[in-house]
Amino acid sequence: MAVLRLLRRIWNYPAHAHAATERQFELGRKLSSKDWAALQKPELLRTLVEINQAQHAFLPVSGLANSSSGPWQMALDALLGDANLIAQLQAGAGGVVSAEQGYRIYDIANNQATLDDFLHEFGHRAVYEADMLNPRWAEDPSWVVEQVESVRMNPPQADPREAASKVRVQAVKELKLRFGIRSQLALWLIDKLHRALAAREQAKSGLACLILPFRSMVLEIGRRMQADGQLDSPEDALHFTLFDISCWLRGYWSGAGARQLSADRSARRLKWLSETAPDLIVEDPNGGLAFVVEPTPKASGDREWSGIAVAPGFASGTARIVRNPNDASHLMLGDILVAPSTDPGWTPLFLRASGIIMETGGFLSHGAIVAREFGIPAVANIPGILNSLQDGEQISVDGSAGRIISGLKD
């Protein structure tokens, strides 16, 4: 019965998620027109409450969108029993917002779209967008401009949409040849799966869209506290918690000690960022927490690694280790992108890569979904791979078997 209830809930869930996400975008557009400097504390507080309530109401939508692809994936696995074919059938389907950002950058580079249009649609997004400290593209589009210039200097041999579509067309031919009449059911399930994955990515965008007006409001608060001599810069206010900001707006906190509080939070953040988080934490016999260090999984030999096959295909090229997408100028067309993990802010870099390696992530991660949409071979979840590979070494990515091999392979 639980399975039936879940199926009934997700049957047309992408349409429900789309409507809810559009409401998020509508609120974001409404707030973008506000003159934050002209608002008094009570008005700012009402806006803070409005954003907070909208985000909390949207969390269940995003949560279910995040998991609604499961039954369709399971049905396809049972019907076809070929994970690589299923992944290839998802290539070039379109409508995946995280991939669309990459397509649009290609269009701008080829004078088929404008930066203003891009920022109107995607300006609320950012590199590592879950961290409010990172400026949104609408605030600082320099990274987007850099990606456009990279495409102009190293243009792909074909439109990435066309390249992905060819992967899908070939997969459909193979499907019909191997599975005959069952192929119609498989294509229906693929459509359901694709819509669910697209809803997942759109819902993530919906969560991110209200961070832009929230940042604008907090920066305005920071400017006022700087004017009062309580902060050194408006950006220092971004280290405050929601509770801190609410107390300041309600008059419970005068801002005394704000400079010290912000500095302490900033130092603590830097300390945390310097640490390497373990993949697994367990409870030891004494009730404490213990880290479990897992060895890098290897298929065979000293220079071969295995992980999760998230996008099929085979590619060879130069390994380019990119720990932050802001530092990816050395990634050239045809290189293998080696990343710690990816979020939507990384995906424009995929246009340059012939293969993707992600140290962490899984089959439903942003990078995996976009790699399948682009038709680029990708392998994820290989602990330690960033330190095991050398930038510039020749490697091969087998996205069908989930293998990384040092040295070029035919």
Query: Tens of pLDDT along 124-143?
Result: 999 989 999 999 999 999 99
Q: Give residue 356's pLDDT.
A: 96
Mean pLDDT of the chain: 91
Tell me the pLDDT band of 175, cut-offs 50, 70 and 90: very high
| 35 backbone φψ class: left, alpha, beta (φ>0; ψ -120 to 50) | beta
Residue 296, pLDDT > 60, answer no
Q: Give residue 329's pLDDT.
A: 87
Would residue 288 count as lying in a domain? no
More confident residue, 110 or 302: 110
Most confident region among 5-9, 283-287, 353-357 by mean pLDDT? 353-357
Q: Give residue 297's pLDDT.
A: 47
Question: And the tokens for 161?
Answer: 């949409």
Name the percent of the chain lying above pLDDT 70. 95
Question: And the tokens for 137?
Answer: 């593209």
Tell me the pLDDT band of 276, cut-offs 50, 70 and 90: confident
255, 273, 291 - which closes a domain: 273
DSSP string, 25-62: HHHHHHHHT--GGG--HHHHHHHHHHHHHHHHHHHHHH
Would residue 68 count as lying in a domain? yes
Residue 309, pLDDT > 90, answer yes
User: Same domain for 321 and 237?
Assistant: no
185, 209, 233 - which closes a domain: 209
What's the pLDDT tens digit per position in 338-386?
999 988 888 889 989 999 999 988 888 889 999 999 999 999 999 889 9
Residue 168 domain boundaries: 1-209
Query: How far apart, in whole angstroms, are the C-alpha atoms of residue 217 and residue 59?
Result: 22
User: Same domain for 245 and 311?
Assistant: no
163, 186, 209 - which closes a domain: 209
Would residue 187 count as lying in a domain? yes
Residue 275, pLDDT > 90, answer no
Would residue 94 count as lying in a domain? yes
Q: Which strands make up the sheet holding 304-306, listed edge to edge?
A: 304-306, 403-406, 394-398, 314-321, 335-339, 353-358, 378-380, 308-311
Q: What's the one-letter identity of residue 251?
A: G
90-99, 158-167, 170-179, 281-290: the lowest-pLDDT one? 281-290
Q: Under a CB-based contact definition with an 8 Å cutoff, are residues 374 and 393 in contact?
A: no
Domain count, the chain: 3
Q: Give residue 299's pLDDT.
A: 47
Would residue 298 count as lying in a domain? no
User: Same domain for 67 and 175?
Assistant: yes
Tell me the pLDDT band of 302, cut-offs 50, 70 and 90: low
Q: Give residue 3's pLDDT.
A: 65
Residue 201, pLDDT > 60, answer yes
For 304, residues 6+ apart whose C-beta sits below 8 A from its C-beta are 298, 403, 404, 405, 406
Query: How far apart, in whole angstroms, are the C-alpha atoms of residue 328 and residue 378?
Result: 18
Residue 19, pLDDT > 50, answer yes
Angle between the N-to-C axes of helices 366-374 and 97-109, in degrees from 0 to 180, rounded to the nearest 10? 50
DSSP, collapsed to helix, strand or coil, labels residue 332 as: coil
User: Same domain for 197 and 222?
Assistant: no
User: Same domain for 218 and 115?
Assistant: no
Q: Give residue 191's pLDDT.
A: 95
Would residue 284 count as lying in a domain? no
When pLDDT is averaged across residues 231-246 and rounded to a whole number, the result is: 97
User: Same domain for 255 and 197?
Assistant: no
DSSP, collapsed to helix, strand or coil, labels residue 309 as: strand
Query: How far apart, in whole angstroms, are the C-alpha atoms of residue 221 and residue 210?
Result: 17
Q: Give residue 293's pLDDT.
A: 56
Name the percent of the chain lying above pLDDT 90. 74
The domain that holds 311 is classified in CATH as 3.50.30.10
- Give the chain's end-to-end CA distance (angstroms, integer): 50
Tell me the pLDDT band of 27, cut-offs 50, 70 and 90: very high
Tell me the pLDDT band of 291, cut-offs 50, 70 and 90: low
When pLDDT is averaged across residues 227-238 and rounded to a whole number, the result is: 97
Tell me the pLDDT band of 67, cut-offs 50, 70 and 90: confident
More confident residue, 285 or 60: 60
What's the pLDDT tens digit per position in 48-64?
999 999 999 999 999 99
pTM: 0.87
Residue 410, pLDDT > 80, answer no
User: Same domain for 239 and 204?
Assistant: no
What's the pLDDT tens digit per position in 317-342?
999 999 988 888 899 999 999 999 98
User: Same domain for 119 and 83?
Assistant: yes
Query: How far apart, in whole angstroms, are the C-alpha atoms of residue 258 and residue 28?
Result: 29
User: Same domain for 180 and 61?
Assistant: yes
User: Same domain for 190 and 332?
Assistant: no
Would residue 351 count as lying in a domain? yes
More confident residue, 21 or 70: 21
Helix (DSSP H) and strand (DSSP E) numbers for the chain: 15, 10
Tell me the pLDDT band of 277, cut-offs 50, 70 and 90: confident
User: Same domain for 109 and 243?
Assistant: no
Would residue 136 count as lying in a domain? yes
Query: How far apart, in whole angstroms, are the C-alpha atoms of residue 263 and residue 261?
Result: 5
User: Same domain for 224 and 327?
Assistant: no
Q: Give residue 74's pLDDT.
A: 92
Q: Give residue 403's pLDDT.
A: 93
Question: And the tokens for 221?
Answer: 């608060």
What letter does residue 247 receive in the DSSP assignment?
H
